[in-house]
Each structure stands twice: as C-alpha cells, then as structure tokens.
Homo-oligomer: A and B are copies of this chain.
C-alpha cells in the first residue's frame, strides 16, 4: 500500500476520502473537499474536479453553477491511500463560495487557549452575484 504502484484508495465508512486542493500556479491551498469513487473516476475521465457534497449528499462538479471549474493538473495519493491531493488550475476568481480565492482566508490569532480569527486579504468576487450558494 505504501510503496507499490497499485491505486487502492481507502475510503471511510461513508465511502469518502478528503481531497486537498492546491492551486498549480501559486501553490496556495484552495480548499478541502471530499471524494467518493465516482468523483475520482469522473475527475480523471473529464479532467475537471468532481467532489461529493456531504451537505447535499450528491456528486458535485466544482464550478457547475459558478463557472469556476478546476482543471486537473495532477492527482496524488498519500502513503496510506486515505487522502488525495489535487493540483488544479483554478478558473475564475476563486474557489471559495464566500468570495475568497481560498477557503482558508482566516488565521488563528491571540490567546492559544481561546484563539480568535483574523481575516486576511479581501474577497476576490461577490458570491451573491454568482449563485445563491455553492456550499461544499
């Protein structure tokens, strides 16, 4: 599993695994989503990132409503094959449905026992003009 050339993904009890999504151009981590076997297949077959939405309980082509599709550059798996890392070309202004380029737009700061959040940078677009909601 850790050294071979066989892809044997270890999905969890719900049939999912986390997918880290990284911008191929900048290295920025854009989001974390979840994939099932069908999402992996469709992503590889179409070259566009597909995920499984846990909130909507449905397969989801990223950008299907916003147009901000993610073109797959490479997909990797980790040593124990329970996570994938997608390197993508993010089209449009951003990956996050809140309007930021990355979902990770807030940094923990302050008291380690009770940290707060500091928002970094500005939104890249107005999500209200794009869609009602494309939640992960």
Q: Residues on A close to B: CB < 8 A? A: 2-7, 18, 20, 22, 26-29, 31-32, 41, 44-45, 74-80, 83-85, 96-98, 100, 103-108, 112-120, 135-136
Contacts and interface: CB of A to CB of B under 8 A. Distances in A.
A76 B104 CA distance: 6
Nearest to A19: B32
Contact of A107 (B29, B75, B79): B75
Copy tally for this chain in the complex stands at: 2
Contact of A117 (B44, B77, B115): B77
Contacts of A2: 98
A40 to B, nearest CB: 8
Contacts of A79: 96-98, 100, 103, 105, 136
